[in-house]
Structure 1
Amino acid sequence: MELRHLRYFETLADTLNFTRAAERLHVTQSTLSHQIRQLEEELGQVLFDRTNRKVALTEAGELLRSHFVPALQQIDRGLQALTQPGDALAGELCIAATHSFNTRLVPLCVSAFLAYHPNVKVAVEELSAEQIARRLSSGHLDLGVSYRPADRPELWFEPLYNEELRLCVAASHPLARRRRVRMVELHQRRVVLLPRQFSTRGLLDECFEAAGAQPLVVAELNSIAPMIELIRQTDLAGIIAESAFTPSPDLRLIPLEDPSPIRTPGLLWKKGVNRSPTVKHMASVIRRAASGHAG
């Protein structure tokens, strides 16, 4: 079955007249009749009653029309959105991301989204994972890029990829030339970490405990950019995601092991809410961008 067969069927079902339907489709009556017969033969059903010089839908034709006409309308709307991308969506989209993803991933996605939909206003907030969960639950956000929240059955979580957190040190740091560092080697070393209200800090504390390490947390910063700048200017070590790191000759990013701290970011939205085309398209943009981080 081809799309043109369904378009011919839709037009004839609308006009119930072969002459008018052929004119509307810009084909000959014989071509239209042939295409309708092909469709009927493929379906094994008679779709039109052609007796007494009148055309009427059969019961099978009525059933087909009730299912396929809405589908054709949806296809037409999708094609229109492709040919007129700037006019397809409008309104406002409110999203939030944790610090790591708001550094590079989210700006990249917003840029790609606005290239197709310049009439949409995108509002982005940088929040902790718990704040994102709360604001999604209260209806103040459309979409979140964060981690699986605990005790939030009202939210859907869609994993995007797994990422390893890595040790970040200045080029002059004693560990800067290492290819890998074990978590236990950070015992009693001076570090800067995120505050305890961040889910990533909880993950790191669990890894330190599993390794039997107790680092000296001499600074806590709630944003990655100033943390990296502090590491650049001091002997402190930090643990960050590669996605939040911009290569620099005076910094080193080193894999961690035993255990390797791994987290899984994903998309978050509220259950039971009818997601708009705007939200769905932004989610698709984020999925495509995140696929580059997978593995």
Structure 2
Amino acid sequence: MELRHLRYFVALAEQLNFTAAAGKVHVTQSTLSHQIRQLEDELGCRLFDRENKRVTMTQTGEAFLERVQNALREVDEGIWAARLAADEMSGVVRIGTTHTFNMRIIPRCVSLFLSSHPSVRVNVMEMSGDDIAAALLRGELDIGVTYKPRDASQLRFEPLYSEELLLAVGESHPFAQRRFVRTAELHLQRVVLLPPTYATRTLLDECFRMANATPVVVAEMNAIAPMMELVSVTDIAAIVSEHALRRDDVRVIPLESPTPVRSPGLLWRSDEARSPAARAFASVIRTVSNGEGASKRRRRDRKPAPAKRGTKA
């Protein structure tokens, strides 16, 4: 049974005339008659009585008609919704992202998205994670790309992948030539960190507690670029994302025992329907992020094993 059989059946049920029904569905009378006969053969019962060019519905046909009309109504509404969604792939999609993602992932996502949806304008705003959450709740953003905020009770967080945080030091720092540094070794080391209001700072403080380390926080900054500038000209260390601004005069070194790991993700309002453009952009972010996660796993697999005791780390 195909959809056209049902449409032909409804047309004939409404017209009770093969010529008029055939005209309504734009087929020949013989085609309509053949299709109705196919439907009756498949159902194993008569839907219409034909007597002296007079067409009437059987009791079975009457019972079948109501269900078919309901089914076709659902199908037509689905087709309309799909076409409407395709037509709506325009307008503006508003993205809030932190500095780390805006450096490489988001530009790639915008490029891929616009190549498929050139009629949509993309607005990208660089903000802190808490500001992204607040802007989403105010309805000023469609999507957030950030780490899970401290208060996400009215938001839905969708993790994308996991990334390690690395120790960043200047060329003259005692750790500059190390292959890895244990978190416990940061005890009493001078560091610059994000302010306590950031979720990443909460994660780092927990790692310090687990390692029984108390670094000396000599500065707090809410932007990566000035952090790296400070690191490059002093003996102050920082802990940053592996996507942080890379400089020739700054070394980045893996941290171990424990390794700080955080998960970036998509942030949505949980009580709001998403526009077709926002859903399409989120799909691109997932695709690009899957590639990021795979490349990280390959780099970790290639990473040399830690030096044994007595060898140079």
TM-score (norm 1): 0.78
Asked if the contact 2:148/2:199 (under 8 Å) is kept, the reply is no
Aligned-residue CA RMSD in angstroms? 3.3
Distance 1:72 1:90 in 2: 19
Equivalent residue, structure 1, for 2:267: 268
Please tell me the residue identity of whatever aligns with 1:287: R
Asked if the contact 1:143/1:279 (under 8 Å) is kept, the reply is yes
Asked if the contact 1:210/1:259 (under 8 Å) is kept, the reply is yes
Distance 2:269 2:33 in 1: 51
Distance 1:94 1:30 in 2: 51
Work out the number of aligned pairs and report it: 277
- Go from structure 1 to structure 2 and tell me whether the alpha carbon gap of 1:32 and 1:126 turns closer, same or farther (over 3 Å shift): farther
Please tell me the residue identity of whatever aligns with 2:288: A
- Go from structure 1 to structure 2 and tell me whether the alpha carbon gap of 1:209 and 1:14 turns closer, same or farther (over 3 Å shift): same
Distance 2:33 2:193 in 1: 72
Asked if the contact 1:95/1:125 (under 8 Å) is kept, the reply is yes
Please tell me the residue identity of whatever aligns with 1:152: A
Distance 1:45 1:76 in 2: 36
More off after superposition, 158-167 vs 214-223: 214-223
For residues 112-134 of structure 1, give each alpha carbon's deviation from its aligned partner in whole angstroms, at most 9, with x where no partner exists: 22222222222222222211111
Equivalent residue, structure 2, for 1:84: none
Equivalent residue, structure 1, for 2:309: none
Please tell me the residue identity of whatever aligns with 1:137: L
Distance 1:275 1:139 in 2: 11
Report the alpha carbon displacement of residue 165 of structure 1 after superposing the two structures with TM. 0.8
Q: Return the match for 2:49 from 48, 51, 64.
A: 51
- 1:81-160 to 2 correspondences below 5 Å: 81=86, 89-160=89-160
> Are residues 1:68 and 2:75 paired?
yes
Please tell me the residue identity of whatever aligns with 1:139: G
Distance 2:234 2:163 in 1: 26
- Go from structure 1 to structure 2 and tell me whether the alpha carbon gap of 1:72 and 1:90 turns closer, same or farther (over 3 Å shift): closer
Asked if the contact 1:170/1:232 (under 8 Å) is kept, the reply is yes
Q: Secondary structure at the match of 2:292?
A: coil
Distance 1:284 1:240 in 2: 27
For residues 16-52 of structure 1, give each alpha carbon's deviation from its aligned partner in whole angstroms, at most 9, with x where no partner exists: 467447756x9x92897299649x84xx687x93433
- Go from structure 1 to structure 2 and tell me whether the alpha carbon gap of 1:234 and 1:13 turns closer, same or farther (over 3 Å shift): farther
Report the alpha carbon displacement of residue 200 of structure 1 after superposing the two structures with TM. 0.9
- Go from structure 1 to structure 2 and tell me whether the alpha carbon gap of 1:58 and 1:210 turns closer, same or farther (over 3 Å shift): same
- 1:16-31 to 2 correspondences below 5 Å: 16=12, 19-20=22-23, 23=26, 29=31
Please tell me the residue identity of whatever aligns with 2:154: E
Asked if the contact 1:168/1:252 (under 8 Å) is kept, the reply is yes
Asked if the contact 1:11/1:21 (under 8 Å) is kept, the reply is no
- 1:209-224 to 2 correspondences below 5 Å: 209-224=209-224
- Go from structure 1 to structure 2 and tell me whether the alpha carbon gap of 1:34 and 1:255 turns closer, same or farther (over 3 Å shift): farther
Distance 1:123 1:258 in 2: 40
Distance 1:117 1:261 in 2: 37
Report the alpha carbon displacement of residue 188 of structure 1 after superposing the two structures with TM. 2.1
Distance 1:93 1:101 in 2: 17
- Go from structure 1 to structure 2 and tell me whether the alpha carbon gap of 1:59 and 1:181 turns closer, same or farther (over 3 Å shift): same
For residues 138-181 of structure 1, give each alpha carbon's deviation from its aligned partner in whole angstroms, at most 9, with x where no partner exists: 22222111222334321111111221111123344332332221
Distance 1:122 1:32 in 2: 53
- Go from structure 1 to structure 2 and tell me whether the alpha carbon gap of 1:150 and 1:195 turns closer, same or farther (over 3 Å shift): closer
More off after superposition, 228-237 vs 92-101: 228-237
- Go from structure 1 to structure 2 and tell me whether the alpha carbon gap of 1:14 and 1:116 turns closer, same or farther (over 3 Å shift): farther
The structure with the largest alpha-carbon Rg is: 2
Q: Secondary structure at the match of 1:288?
A: helix
Unaligned 5+ segments in structure 1 are 82-86
Report the alpha carbon displacement of residue 254 of structure 1 after superposing the two structures with TM. 1.9
Asked if the contact 1:49/1:58 (under 8 Å) is kept, the reply is no
Asked if the contact 2:99/2:127 (under 8 Å) is kept, the reply is yes
- Go from structure 1 to structure 2 and tell me whether the alpha carbon gap of 1:89 and 1:14 turns closer, same or farther (over 3 Å shift): farther
Asked if the contact 1:191/1:236 (under 8 Å) is kept, the reply is yes
Distance 2:155 2:270 in 1: 5
